[in-house]
Structure 1
Amino acid sequence: MATKLINKYATMIGITASLYLIALSLLSLVDIMNKREYIQNPDHYFHSSAFHNELTTYFNLLESYYTDNKHYVQWSVLEKVGETSYKQIQKKYEDIYQAKTNEINEAYKAELEANPQLPDEQRMKLEEKRDLELAQAQHARHFDFEETIAKIVKARDQQFQTLKDSLEKRNNSFKYYIRDTQTTAVYTNIDNRSIEDYIKTDALYSLHFPKSSFTTEWHLRNINQTFEDNQWEGYIIVPKLSESSTAIHQGYTYYESIRERVAKEGILLVFSLSTAMGILVVLANKQKLNHPWVSLCHNYYRRLPIDMRTLVFIMISLIIIGMANIISFFQFPFTFTQIFFWTFISLLSGFLLLYLVDTFTLLKNRTELKQEWDKSFYKQSHGLLKESMQNKQVFYSILFIILSSIGLGIFVMVGIPALRYGAGVLIFSSFVYIFVYCFIVIPFVLKRIGLLNRILKGSQEIAAGNIQFRIEETGKGQLSALASHINTMRSGFESALEKQLKSERMKTELITNVSHDLKTPLTSIINYVDLLKTEDLSLEKKKQYLDVLERKTQRLKTLIDDLFEASKVASGAVDLEIQQVDVGALLNQALAEYHDQIEQSTLTFRIKLGPVPVYVPLDGNKTWRAFENLISNALKYSQTHTRVYISVDEQEEHVVISMKNTSAYEIDFDVEELFERFKRGDQSRNTEGSGLGLAIAKNIVELHGGNLSIEIDGDLFKVFVTLPKTLVQ
């Protein structure tokens, strides 16, 4: 039981597994393409923006330490503050002191002027007070100046210490060896070792400056320019080992892990893709890909035009690439989101696989490819556009109405805000456009709507049977031309009706003209009745005369029945009782009706029917009559000691019944004349028959929406009855 269940679902399991593996290979491929530089360049991290930022920051600190802050610990206060800043601060406090001195002196002078008779003792006290205030101002000036300078020096010292600490903090990330080519001074954070030995044994990555060749990396160009400007020469190095984990080494380790992962993804890509292809090849070899679900998917897929399939293929490919870039799939542990994403990509991969297989199949079958292209959206659109452009006047009229209506909407949307904000030009433009639209476009449309309504009314009148109604033709447009065409058609219908009436009259005349065919049996009947009235006839003679009377009476009855049947069928005044009928069985019934005549004749009938019943919507009685006439025709007009071949051939939309026999008479006239009433193959009219059989059979077949045709090949007489497999209204 378990084995049967596995075999039942083996195909779907195999296809599902293949789609998941293909999706996995696509995800691997996208990730590999996005991270191909990790494989191509082992030092990819040292060309990344993260490393560039760290290197630039470190070198800016290094440059500041050895250029702007060189020998900082030996700097004087003036050097730390800056001579210009020092003098500006000094002048500032001098100005403050001078203003304060002037203020004190002015106050002392004003008090003396206010008290000119002031005693000397009090005057001396005022002078002492003034001198004290001046001394205090001098002290305040010196104190504030020294305090400001001290703060600046302290801030500058802190800035230098921060610079120094930043460099020391990055000493585990970078090592440097810089030599001033002018002074031969060496700046380095490497212990007493040869720089060549250090690079050889302990360097993870090193950069030598200045570079002799131009580099396209902007951060290296800036660093290189700094080395050249300062006439330096040396190395900046990333060491292999560090006492503590640094951002540089963490970044390098992360990039290396990605590099290893991408390499594994390459192996996964090859494995998953080859496994998926192997499963599909095995299923194909075992004819397992004709699964109902696969066929259903292919049928729905084929409903899309071929160019739309290509567009969907491109869109799905872009969706897969975009989603693979957004979602990090290759991360552990797997989450539900990753599984859902994988499943979704697998479904999309199914369409991609179906597209590739179907495209390969179409490329091998150019005929089918052309058929698919003929059904493409482009071809259909091109056909529709071509059809719409067949009458350019109508096309441009409709286009004019559409564009002018769009323009009306735009100007209304612009005009309403323009009224609110008082934009005169926009208000005027909108008013002019609306005015033109109302007095040109609207009358243009209404005029054509009125003409269209007249055309609709006229067509309804004509369809209702009023063929005398004529549509009024106004203007010169295409609708007027349509009205003219309908009027022409009306005239044609009127002419056809007259022809039909004339045809009916001809039918009446035809019946009159066949009176001689009726007179022959009727005259015989009259003559034999007169003979029977003779008294001295023997019983044997009477019996002979009665037999002749019976034959002639039956002949007359058959002729009259055929005539009425031909008239009814030709006029269409026949109600068909349509049922699903087995054509082969109906044909056998007709043959059975003529079994005795066939046995008595010298003809051999060869019947070929299909292996299964062929059902067609027919009126069984009427169709049986048509078959009976054709079989009777073959019995009457076939060459003796020949074969009659009857076969039923089922096609996609029709069933063809063919009857072939060798004619006993030379047919030296047009085949179509055989369908005329009272036309016989033996023009001497020695055979029995009314000459209506083929005409009746043809009309019956045509009433069913079929066709009866005759082909003559020498003496070989072929009749083909073609009946539709679906009911024709």
Structure 2
Amino acid sequence: MKNKWKTLLSLFLMTWVIFSFFLLINFGTQYIGKSYFDSGNFNANLGRFKDGIGRYVLEPFDLEEAKKQITVTQEEIEYHRNYYGSLTDQVANIKAQYQERIEQAADDPELQKMLTEERDRKIEDIKKNFSDDEYVEEKVRKQKEEIIDKYAASQKEEEKVFLDEFNYFAYELRNVETGETFQSGDVNADAVFTESFGRKNGYLVVNSSRTIQPDYYDDTLMNHEIPVTGKVFRFEGKITIPKSMMNNAYFKEDYQAFMLSKMSLYGIWATALLAIAALLTFAKPSLDNLLSHKRGKGLFLQLPVDVRIAVVLISASLAYKFILDMGNLIVYNTYYFQNEYWIRYIFDLAYHFAFLFIFAAVSILGAVWIWESLDNEEKVISEWKNAFLYRLSDGIQDLFLSRSIGVQALFILCVAFFAGFGFAVVFMDLQAIVVYVPLFLFIALPAVIVFLRNAGYLNRIMKQTEEMAEGRLTAEVEVKGKSPLAKHAQNLNELQEGVRKSLTEQAKSERLKTELITNVSHDLRTPLTSIITYTDLLKNPEITEEERNRYIEILDNKSQRLKTLIEDLFEVSKMSSGNVELKKERINLTQLLQQAVGEHKEDFEKANLELRVVLPDEPIYADVDGQKWWRVIDNLIVNALKYSLSGTRVYVTLKKVGSMAEFSVKNIANYELGDNVEELKERFKRADESRHTEGSGLGLAIAQSIVELHHGKLEIGVDGDLFKVVVTVSAV
């Protein structure tokens, strides 16, 4: 038990030394070797006295001189004159103001006459305002004189207050320029404070210039501040505070409090020196025993090193706070000790020192134990790997993969931390609850609500994601707000839609692949079957020469047909792979279209189709491969020739739209087109599903590939039986 009290005494002495050291740093310059008359409070009041004696005694306000300096500018005259509007506006306003009153006084002729005369005088005054500058100038001058008169009266009142407040000062001052002397009190009496002025110490300088600011504002006055120019005077002499006046000085209690604070600080610093001596002598063994306390040290070192450091830093911060609070009590609240509140004052000091002792002890012991646990590099590495923050580092890195989520999570953690810290502060100082409760209600509580709501929303998203993983793609994840979770929900919905579209495209691709194989087989087998059939017929020696020639002609047509199919298929395949060279040059699209239309004009007439061609008046040029662009135009015209209803019109148009050249072909189809017109651009796809018409079914696919190679656009439109193809490419 005896050793325990010794160790507590050692810790108390260390706390007292630390407390005294910080008081020395914070308040030493204010009190060591200083008197009350060096303090900031006294010098502020001394400054007020110097300013007041110059203003009210040495160079008081000269009313007549201020009035002589009044000036009225033409701008001020115009401002006053037009403040209520133009002449007609003001006259009309006065008449309107008096009209009703005059009418109401119809039963009292004398009153009516007085009102009429009053109105006429105001109207006459207004008219004179607009006709006579001197008349207006005199009005403005009088307004300024009234302001100066009121200012002079206020200066007299302020002078009385000043002389009553600073009656403990004595002074004897002489105007260096005029020789006039001002004296009050006995400056030669025994004084507690003296300040001299002169060539050696510097003169007391007084400037009689001032700017008068009225305590009321007349809006008809343009400039309310009235400058009064004065002179700068120098005074020599001295200002004193006689000892006999100390009892009358208002700062008597402040002086006594300063001296008591000074003696208190000197006493604390003296006892701190004794405490240091004790720690170096008889208290040292107890201190060594305390710093190596096995039980407390063992419990403390079980904490991660960063948590230990945090505990020490927080304890040190709180200890420093209590040091400052105690310092302020000793320095600025000592006057409590001089009256009936001295019991409360002593209690406040004891209360603050108790908490200072606790937090200082934790800081001292914790710092020493941490230092011992990190005395070599191996221990530092080992301790850091077991640190709380180090173990969280991987999780923190993953947390900030989404910056928004990371910031929000960090914000929630900070709110939780400061909410707990604030509770601790409220526990120590109940007055802090005034600040803590609003912060808790408007920051901490909403943050918790948002966290719980987002946690529930996350669970809902995870549940619906699980259903998506099981193949149920019917229900979309609900998107709520604009949070990262809402964005994640939106991404899941887009992923679900992408999967749904992928399945649809896959089914479509399988269907088109099947149709492609069927159509290719059909289109290749038809001419091949004919070739085989007519070849077998030619082998018959009994056929006539005429039949032989007819069979040879059919074989030639079918062979050419088969060749065309194979070449078209090869060309589509090559263009789809992008393995095509374009020889671009400046081509006249108008001329190219005229040539293409001219080659098929007779074919349209034979097919009983009326061809309508609309071309621009001026040529349209484009940077294209002429041979391949010819193929585009020819394929589209031939497509219209093959699939147009007999007896209808086919429209071929070329025009310039902005910076683009637009080529279009419109016709009435002789087969029902169906809904999905985009599939017509697929290879071997035709509107004629029965495939009775001639053609490879590659025309639109080839045209589409060529247009895309030129960075153009091919669009198909269907309105009932009306079929329309529009090709656009950049014009030059």
TM-score, reference length from structure 1? 0.34
Q: Which protein shows a greater Rg?
A: 1
Greater relative contact order (CA < 8 Å, ≥ 6 in sequence): 1
